[in-house]
Structure 1
Amino acid sequence: MRRSLFRRNKKKETNNNEENFSIKIFKNLDKNMGNLKKMLDEPNDLVIRKFTIHDSKHKCGVAYIDGMVDSDLVHNNIMKSVQLITGRKPLPEAESKLFEEIYQEILSVTSIKKGTTLDDISNAILGGSTIFYINGIDNVIIMDTQGGETRSIEEPITETVIRGSREGFVENLRTNIVLIRRYIRDPNLRFKTYQVGRRSKKSLVVSYMDGIINPDIVKEVNRRLETIDMDDAPESGYIEEWIEDSFLSPFPQILNTERPDKVAAAILEGKVAILLDGTPFVLIAPATLGNTLQSPEDYYERWTIGTLLRALRYLAAFIAVFLPALYIALVSFHQGMIPSDLAFSIAATREGVPFPAFVEAMLMAITMELLREAGTRLPTPIGQTIGIVGGLVIGEAAVSAGLVSPAMVIVIALNAIASFSLPSYSVAIAFRILLFGLMVAAAIFGLYGIILCYIMLNIHLVNLKSFGVPYTTPFAPNFLGDWNDLVLRAPVTAIKRRPTYMQTHDEKSVNKGD
């Protein structure tokens, strides 16, 4: 009973807070300033500056959060311009007419609007805007003055650039939008803004190319974004997990990237980009399994090189998932399938090893995962040293102690190298998860267990979708016309159409061929 009463009181308190935020602004300047301080609990970074204009007859004031605004813009384009211009020209005596003249003619800030409630003020000032008050007016002027210290544009950290633009997304949403506009200078490029997070109220932008994209995809993306209900979305991973089709699948159904060129290419293919303020990782949807094994460098090099690189990635994907499991199955159950010379060599290296192949593989795989995690968490120079030296030292020590065989060390090393060669970090983690399941199946049923897992994996993949697009397309369902840009990368002049499975309005691909 007490719990339910507490919940009711808490709900009532929340409703009262929401009502207080939606109350109208008063006409008294000092009362408005006091309400603003009270609402924010008088923080040290709240700057309030009061001054007078028009022969000291009208009191005005500005308020902003220090560090979130461009202070030069506030001082020079707002306060200084208001005081100078109002002192040189006759102004109306009535506060309402003075307010309109300042709003229409005097303030030289590009983005400007009016606010009437405390909710308008709180959202604006906490987002980096400056509030302009005039005594006797129950409206305020909200000026977009975002600024402060931000990270400059740098090369993407998580995606190494071999050839192409060195620019990478940053944490500032405006900068990221500008980076996309630099690549696509088309009036049909759209940016639709949302607000996510009950408390954080962060800006989220959906970008797509009108006239190319299938409108059904846009509607579905908008529908899912409108269902987001959380206090804060500190990173785009929260958005990805909320709107993806199946949260139980280990495979990423939405791609993430720090590269503007990759986002621009996806938009021109008829896909959607989702940008969140505060993170350099932009989401791309819908995604397919083939997309996870592609890289922008495939198009920047000649088509023969791009085809070779893609073929190597598909081979690396197979090795990253199946190689340790195949080794366990062959050594434990199907020795007759191994060539005689190789079988004798493996048997000689395993002599004296006290563990079965499955235990060997699990020990080495877990050790490799620990080294990866340690290398990721440590500072970059130390992390690289730990990953290389740690792997060599532990592997050599394990072989010398007779705990594992040299062949097992080679298998796990090849598996690790193959997973590192995959361009998508998320799909590499998915393959590492599947690896352990396949190893267990191989230890119990041998090759039959691997085959059963492979069948179940295919069933899962063909049933998986990303915003209505089958995850395995164009493999299944089969679109032969899209195979020229799948495992093979055909010459640019031969890629004349956008992916068929995207069902775009404009099928001809102008950027990849005529």
Structure 2
Amino acid sequence: MPFLPTRRRNNQPLPIEDKEEEQQELLTVDLNENVEKIKTIYQDCMDVVFRKFQMFADTDAVIIYINGLANIEEIHEHVLEPLMGHGWVDENGMPPAEQLVDMKRFVEQRLPVSKVYRAQTVAQCIEHLAEGNAVLLVDGQSEGVALGLSKWEKRAIEEPVAESGIRGPREGFIESLETNLSLLRRRIRSPRLKAKAIALGKYTKTEVAVCYIEGVAAPALVAEIEQRLRRVELDGVLETGYIEEIIQDHPYSPFPQVLNTERPDVAVASLLEGRIVIVQDGTPFVLVMPVSFYSLMQSSEDYYQRSLISTLIRLLRYLFLLVSLLLPSAYIAILTFHQEMIPTTLLLTVAASRERVPFPAFVEALIMEIVFEALREAGVRLPKQAGAAVSIVGALVIGQAAVQAGLVSAPMIMVVALTGIASFMFPRFTAAIALRMLRFPMMILAGSLGLLGIMLGLLLILTHMASLRSLGVPYLSVHVPNAGHHMDDALIRTPWWKANADSRVNERRSQQTAKE
């Protein structure tokens, strides 16, 4: 560990502990002393600008900002030009420089800046500078003023890449917290939409907003998620994945207990259902809690199509969930222990195709599944232009070569291909990953115990899912506590006209029960 001097001698840098203590000091009336304290903290920071000037030709002042985070044009136009002007007098003929009693009030009255904050300590100045605001310090004033003139580059609103659809909005969240909150506000035009700010990360001070609809979301859930967020102790929070891993109820479960999305319509629908949305600055993915297993199987497009079509697609999705989880295991179990279940003609065909294969069905399936997962991961990491081509061509070439070499059989290629197609039907990537992880233990149980092993594995999975909680809400529960409406659409997408009628009936029953 390098030696840290306890005292500052010959312009040596202060230790980290001394710098943190210095940040808590109050600003003084000495401008040079205040500037020196901030310069000491921002030593070796070439992007921090200290612009000295004179207000009304007789008062020394300094405006401090970070180049790249602050809007330099607005600082020049709305701060420097007005304050450096000559001939400003009030109705009594007194220059404004002699009336600098309340700095914040003076700036609010004299400068065309919408956001003005007091800065009474060095720490507050550092905090505002990190947010992109400019800090104005004036000689003879024991407090500074932070001006909301932040500006940094951000990308335009685009269509979500990971959650594309045929019908529905094409807007997606971006890396700007303010823009993401505006996308929510534009859809929910009610003051009941609340957004509480929390800063996470010792060094990053990442701004996080906890969004919910007052009167719809359960207050206990809001308090619980705020408490979990305040327990986050990390040096930096760069993506919502950091938060998701810490605040989930069961960190060792393969099933996701937090839904992440980059679609504003999904976040708004979750808010209307009584859920809580966590928006973080610097990432387009927002978190939704609490969630259930059924919500992970639902797509936003289900509610944009007619109920009959959406119901059929949703049932097909659940069918292929079983295919993705059980097809390789069922193939191994039947081929190894239960050959009598296969029709004679099909059994002869399978036996002929496996005549040259030196491996048992379990090893054969394990090899092909691992190769398929490797090809899928390689396709994701490669550039878009080459990723799809490599994954598809690689699967075809390797599969055909493996069959011709006698390493695997043609039926096994079909089983692995159908399993891969089934895993692509899930609307949530995290849910698909959970099933991909569970597929291998199921294959081991099928290779060891046959169909009995498959039944044992299903019982263990269902028991585990029944014990899971998402923000304290049961994982297999259909409803969110205190939600605005209760629409049973876990398997069947209820038509909107029926959902509205049921909601009115439930509201009348609640009112009648309250009166009684």
Both proteins in one fold, TM over 0.5: yes
The yes-or-no answer on 1:322 pairing with 2:323 is no
2:497 maps to a residue whose letter is T
Q: Give the CA deviation at 1:485.
A: 1.1
Deviation at 1:42, TM superposition (A): 3.4
- The answer on 1:358 being equivalent to 2:362 is yes
| Alignment correspondent of 2:33 | 31
- Paired residue type of 1:470: P
What is the match of residue 235 of structure 2? 231
Q: Cα deviation per residue 1:103-123 (whole Å; 9 max; x = unaligned)?
A: 230122222110111111111
Give, in angstroms, the shift of residue 91 of structure 1.
3.0
Query: Which amino acid in 1 is paired with 2:346?
Result: L
Maintained 8 Å contact 2:63/2:136: yes
Find the aligned partners of 1:426 and 1:301 in 2 and give their Cα distance.
Answer: 24
Listed as ranges, the matches of 1:173-322 within 5 Å are 173-322=177-326
Which deviations, in whole Å up to 9, do the C-alpha atoms of 1:400-430 show, x marking residues without a partner? 1110001101111111111111110111111
The answer to whether the 8 A contact 2:75-2:149 is kept is yes
Report what 2:514 is aligned to: none
Task: Write the deviation string for residues 428-486 of structure 1: whole angstroms up to 9, x where unpaired.
Answer: 11100000110111111111111111111111000100011100113999xxx967411
- The separation in 2 between residues aligned to 1:100 and 1:456, in whole angstroms, is 64
* Residue number in structure 2 paired with 1:512: none
Match of 2:9 in 1: none
Which of 401, 426, 430 is equivalent to 2:430? 426
Secondary structure of the equivalent of 2:212? strand
Q: Tell me the residue number matched to 1:71.
A: 72
Please tell me whether the aligned partners of residues 478 and 488 of structure 2 are also in contact (alpha carbons under 8 angstroms).
Answer: no
Shift of 1:44: 1.5
Aligned length: 494
Alignment-mate amino acid for residue 41 of structure 2: M
Larger deviation, residues 415-424 vs 15-24: 15-24
Name the SS of the counterpart of 2:224 in structure 1: helix
Identity %: 39
Q: Once the 2 structures are TM-superposed, how far is the Cα of residue 240 of structure 1 from its aligned partner?
A: 0.6
Name the residue aligned to 2:150.
146
Q: Which amino acid aligns with 2:62?
A: G
1:497–1:80 Cα change, 3 Å = farther
Is contact 2:62-2:137 (8 Å) kept? Answer: yes
Q: Deviations over 1:126-175 (max 9, x none)?
A: 12111111111121101222212111111111111321111100001000
CA distance in 2, matches of 1:111, 1:73: 13
- Contact 1:95–1:137 (CA<8 Å) still a contact in 2? no
The separation in 1 between residues aligned to 2:102 and 2:495, in whole angstroms, is: 65
The structural deviation recorded for 1:98 is 6.5
Q: Distance in 1 between matches of 2:316 and 2:365?
A: 24
Please state whether the residue corresponding to 2:63 is helix, strand or coil. Answer: strand
TM-score, normalised relative to structure 2: 0.91
**Aligned-partner Cα distance in 1 for 2:349–2:213:** 59
SS of aligned partner of 1:495: helix
Contact 1:95 1:136 in 2 (8 A): no
Instruction: Please tell me whether the aligned partners of residues 22 and 37 of structure 2 are also in contact (alpha carbons under 8 angstroms).
Output: no
Deviation at 1:498, TM superposition (A): 9.6
TM-aligned CA distance change 1:143 to 1:212, over 3 Å: same
SS at match of 1:374: helix
Q: Is the 8 A contact 1:53 1:86 kept in 2?
A: no
Aligned residues of 2:379 and 2:387 also touching (Cα < 8 A): yes
Question: Partners of 1:43 and 1:497 in 2: how far apart?
Answer: 63
1:164 pairs with 138, 147, 168, which one? 168
Picking from 88, 91, 96, the partner of 2:95 is 91
* TM superposition shift of 1:239: 0.4
Superposed CA RMSD: 2.6
Cα separation, 2, equivalents of 1:229 and 1:498: 45
Does structure 1 conserve the Cα–Cα contact (< 8 Å) formed by 2:239 and 2:283?
Answer: yes
Q: Which moved more, 1:96-105 or 1:396-405?
A: 96-105
CA distance in 2, matches of 1:363, 1:113: 63
Matches within 5 A, 1:112-127: 112-127=116-131
Between 85-94 and 58-67, report the one with greater CA deviation: 85-94
Change (3 A) 1:403 1:476: farther
CA distance in 2, matches of 1:358, 1:447: 14
CA distance in 2 between partners of 1:29 and 1:278 (Å): 35
Comparing 20-29 with 455-464, which one deviates more in the overlay? 20-29
TM-superposed CA distance for 1:83, in Å, is: 3.2
* Pairwise CA distance, 1:28: 2.3
Decide which moves more: 260-269 or 79-88. Answer: 79-88
Is the CA contact (8 Å cut-off) linking 1:91 and 1:98 kept in structure 2? no
Please list, as runs of the form range in 1=range in 2, the aligned pairs for 1:40-59 lying within 5 A after superposition. 40-54=42-56, 56-59=57-60
Alignment partner, residue 10 of structure 2: none
Q: Give the aligned residue type for 1:153.
A: I
Letter in 2 for 1:194: I
Q: Which SS does the other structure have where 1:382 is aligned?
A: helix
Q: 2: CA distance between counterparts of 1:426 and 1:136?
A: 58
Whole-Å separation in 2 of the counterparts to 1:237 and 1:302: 34
Name which of structure 1's ranges 280-289 and 45-54 shifts more when overlaid on structure 2.
45-54
Quick check: 1:24–1:118 contact (8 Å CA) kept in 2?
Answer: yes
Change (3 A) 1:376 1:498: farther
CA contact (8 A) 1:353 1:404 kept: yes
Please point out which of 429, 452, 459 is paired with 2:456: 452
Mind listing any 5+ residue stretches in structure 1 that lack a counterpart? 509-514
Distance in 1 between residues matched to 2:315 and 2:104, nearest whole Å: 65
CA contact (8 A) 1:254 1:287 kept: yes
1:30-56 Cα distance to aligned partner (Å, 9 max, x none): 3322222220113121122111122x1
| C-alpha distance 497-451 of structure 1, shift in aligned 2 (>3 A) | farther
Q: Deviations over 1:249-304 (max 9, x none)?
A: 01110100000000000000100000111110000000000000101100111111
Alpha-carbon distance change, 475 to 170 in structure 1, aligned in 2, over 3 angstroms: closer
Distance in 2, Cα, partners of 1:342 & 1:51: 90
Kindly provide the amino acid, as one letter, of the partner of residue 73 in structure 1.
E
Match of 2:440 in 1: 436
1:80 aligns with 2:84: no
Q: Give the Cα separation in 2 of the matches to 1:483 and 1:341.
A: 48
- SS state at 2:299 partner: coil
Q: Using the alignment, how far apart are the partners of 1:190 and 1:418 within structure 2?
A: 39
Amino acid at match of 2:160: P
SS class of match (1:97): coil
**Are 2:104 and 2:117, in contact at CA under 8 Å, matched by a contact in 1?**
no
* Cα distance in 1 for residues equivalent to 2:183 and 2:225: 22
Cα distance in 2 for partners of 1:63, 1:111 equals 16
| 8 Å CA contact retained: 1:70, 1:147 | yes
Report the CA distance shift for 1:101/1:254 in structure 2 as closer, same or farther (over 3 A). Answer: closer
Structure 2 SS opposite 1:496: helix
| C-alpha spacing 1:85/1:281, structure 2 compared with 1 (3 Å) | farther
User: Aligned partner of 1:39: which letter?
Assistant: I
